[in-house]
Amino acid sequence: MIRSLLKIEMKKLTLFIVPIFLVAAFALAGCGGTAAPQGWSSPTVENGALFYGSTVPHLLSLDPVTGVKKWQFPSAPDDKSLVAVYSTPIVSDGVVYFGGYNGNFYAIDAATGAPKWSAPFAVGAPIVPTPLLANGTVYFGANNFKFYALDAATGTKKWEVATGNSIWGDAVLDNGALYFGSLDQKLYAVDAATGAIKWSFPAGGMVVSTPLIKDGTLYFGALNKMFALDAASGAVKWERTLGEANEWIWSDATTQNGVLYFGNLGGDVYALDAATGADKWTQPFAAGGQIRSAIVLDNGTGYFGSSDQKVFALNLETGQLKWNPVAVTGPVLASPAIQGDTLFVPTHGYNMYALNTADGSRRWCFDATTGAACTQ
């Protein structure tokens, strides 16, 4: 009896400690603790160029066919003024938008890497999320508990809205409403034109992933739960608890053919019925490391990376491997991107890989520390 009670209490303690430990680990490794922040940015491929934030840190533009560097921002090799880049760059009308961990938001000429605004917009606090651009406005959150709307052409602030803690996740836009999560354990619905809060949902855990909206339903993870909410009201349609708190959902959910796909820090990939939350596979796919990467979907295959320095390709119907995991140098903490039959995978060790989607074979690898092809 005593042993059973001890096991229950230890489980309760684990559920409390693990999330705090994970946040602390992120804070030390990437958000200004004793270790220098290093960032993990996903790639964007647009108009014949691949853009991403390297761990160096710089914003880089590469030729997606050859992996040859076109430019970097800042241009000086030893300029570390960005501090780190977690924000995935977005591209529109020849301009690249991204946030720096130094607290500045930038608009950069996509062809040359030259700044477009006379000065960056200064938040004064680290920027982690990927920006969202719509209707001439760029939206993003920051570590000062605020969410911003800027004029995309000038960088002038249109509005800001406060939450109860830092904002690490990206926002999505649907029917004039922005949806994003906060470390205050809430998901917010905000009027895109004014910044007025429409509703907020208490998720019971920190929200670090990007919500997915599909047919009026919002899907997002909070700690070890996946939620489906009515986008208009915030009412719960269903929720799914994955088990232990170390199964925290950092992975952005993706969907195809009525199935929801996502990974977690427990190293599992789930396929759930988007309407009910029921399992679609016999069991989750178990990777060898933590999964922060989204499961990127293409032609019946889901691609992602994990912290054990491997890249995976899964058959979406069965949850089985399409090809053997590909070993890379450094953990994969950001989501890959696909263009045509090429998978672009950044690693948290300076490298960017271009892999063949058919079999995982390497096409090229770029080392941001040297500015040239990888030596291994």
Question: Contact 87/130 with Cβ under 8 angstroms?
Answer: yes
Q: Enumerate the β-bridge partners of residue 364.
A: 354
Residue 256 neighbours by CB under 8 Å, 6+ apart: 297, 316
Quote the CA–CA distance of 216 and 356 in Å, as a whole number: 35
Cis before 120 (ω within 30): no
Residue 213 is predicted with a pLDDT of 98
**pLDDT of the residue at 39:** 87
Residue 187 · residue 180 · CB < 8 Å = yes
Q: Give CA–CA dist 250/173, Å, rounded.
A: 20
pLDDT per residue rounded down to tens, the chain (376 residues): 333 333 333 333 333 334 443 443 444 344 434 456 778 899 999 999 999 999 889 999 999 999 999 999 999 989 999 999 999 999 999 999 999 999 999 999 999 999 999 899 999 999 999 999 999 999 999 999 999 999 999 999 999 999 999 999 999 999 999 999 999 999 999 999 999 999 999 999 999 999 999 999 999 999 999 999 999 999 999 999 998 878 899 999 999 999 999 999 999 999 999 999 999 999 999 998 999 999 999 999 999 999 999 999 999 999 999 999 999 999 999 999 999 999 999 998 789 999 999 999 999 999 998 999 998 7
Rounded-to-integer distance, Cα 223 and Cα 57, Å: 29
Task: Give the per-residue pLDDT at 35.
Answer: 56
The CA dihedral of 268, 201, 33, 264, to the nearest 10 degrees, is: 0
How far out from the chain centre does Cα 156 lie? Answer: 26
Structure token digits, residue 235: 């009412």
Report in angstroms the alpha-carbon separations of 150 from 144, 154, 158, 310: 16, 8, 5, 38
Q: What is the pLDDT of residue 23?
A: 47
